[in-house]
Amino acid sequence: MINRRIRSLKNRTFVWVCRGVTAAMISVLFILLYHVGQEGIGWLDKQFLDSFPSRFPEKAGIKSALWGSVWLIGMTATFSIPLGVATAVYLEEYAPRKIWVRAIEINIGNLAGMPSILYGLLGLAIFVRFMGLEDSLWSGSLTLSLLALPVIVIASQGALRAVPREIREGAYALGARRWQVVFGHVLPCALPGIMTGVILALSRSMGETAPLIMIGALSYVAFLPETPSDPFTALPVQIFNWAARPQANFHGLAAAGILVLLALLLTLNASAVFIREKLQRYKP
């Protein structure tokens, strides 16, 4: 009887600890959001979204940074998603379970934890200098793709691994070839997990400043990129620049920029969730 009461007490305590931790995390997030929102909301208007940077805070806007970030997201997604998913498919479905495959997987895991400035150095050496892409969107998005790739590979591998064996066996039983099994059944089934990884990876790359500054992303641009070879600036770079100014009004602009970045990420995530729901064939 006592034993039972203790177990019930343990049970309830655990639930309350979990609730407490969740509440603490969420309140930290909300305090952050509240601070940024309070400082930035007054600066956030149509003029702000539709103007180039200026030395007058009232006239300054994030047009070039916003569109630079949109270009970056698009190009980074184009490079990193196919490469990342293909790598995961190979490692999970085709590669022999040998020691070198394990070694590669461990290395990819390590890459995911590398400080982002190192990717900036790599991008500077390979894309900017060696390939001569200079400070273009090519360099920026390729560098961010390097940053996103490990996360996409690891998440996709996890998703592929979680596909029930019955699905593969069922397909094989009906005489499907290996690629038919992979593309027709395993990949669609793993899609929600893959999308989650992709969202995480792209969101992280969009918030990165250090690697972009390293490869020479600009701080002042008063034109929009028209081709991938054009120079660019991005939201985090512009935010960083404003936050470092001495005048308090620029700090308000930085906060407004953060709100725009958050809205952009939210849109990105929402559309990914939408696509995921649309494409999902195997509902659990």
Partner 1 sequence: MIGWMRRILPCLLMVLVALSASAEANPLKGTVKVDGSSTVFPITEAVAEEFGHERQFNRVRVTVAVSGTGGGFKKFGVGETDINDASRRIKTKEIDTARKNHIRYMELPVAYDGLSVVLNKKNDWVDYLTVAELKKIWEPESSVKTWKDIRPSWPDKKIRLYGPGTDSGTFDYFTEVINGKSQRSRADFTKSEDDNVLVKGVAGGLYSLGYFGYAYYVENQDKLRAAPIKQGDKKPVLPTLETINTGAYAPLSRPIFIYVNMKSAKRPEVKEFIRFYLKNASQLSKEVGYIPLPDAMYQESLEKFNADSLKVARK
Q: How many CB atoms lie within 10 A of CB 178?
A: 13
Smallest distance, partner 1 to C-beta of residue 264, A: 22
Q: How far is the CB of 32 from partner 1 (least distance, A)?
A: 17
Q: Judged by CB, which is closer to partner 1: 21, or 222?
A: 222
Quote the CA–CA distance of 124 and 129 in Å, as a whole number: 6
Q: How far is the CB of 137 from partner 1 (least distance, A)?
A: 13
Considering the complex, state which of residue 14 and residue 223 has its C-beta at the smaller distance from partner 1: 223
CA torsion through residues 254, 256, 257, 258, sign: positive
**β-bridge partners, 136:** 231
Nearer to partner 1, 12 or 129 (CB): 129
CB of 52 to partner 1, least distance (A): 8
Applying CB under 8 A, which residues contact partner 1?
52-55, 134-135, 213, 216-223, 231, 241, 243-248, 251
Please say which residue, 55 or 102, places its beta carbon nearer to partner 1: 55
Nearer to partner 1, 79 or 242 (CB): 242
> Whole-number minimum distance, CB 240 to partner 1, in Å?
9
What's the CA gap between 276 and 223, in Å, rounded? Answer: 35
Question: How far is Cα 202 from Cα 195, in angstroms, rounded to an integer?
Answer: 10
Nearest CB to partner 1, comparing residues 175 and 246: 246
Q: Shortest distance, CB of residue 258 to partner 1, whole angstroms?
A: 15
Q: What angle do CA 133, 137, 143 make, to 5 degrees?
A: 75
Length of the chain: 284
87: amino acid identity, one letter: T
**Cβ at position 9, least distance to partner 1 in Å:** 45
H or E segment to which residue 64 belongs: helix 63-89
**CB contact at 8 A, 276 and 191:** yes
CA angle in degrees (0–180, nearest 5) for 180-186-187: 95
Q: Max alpha carbon distance in the chain (Å)?
A: 76
Q: In the complex with partner 1, which residue's Cβ is closer, 22 or 54?
A: 54
| Residues β-bridged to residue 231 | 136
CB 8 within 8 Å of CB 220? no
State the minimum distance, in angstroms, from the CB of residue 222 to partner 1: 5
Token pair listed for 165:
């064996």
3-class state of residue 228 by DSSP: coil
79/127 with CB nearer partner 1? 127
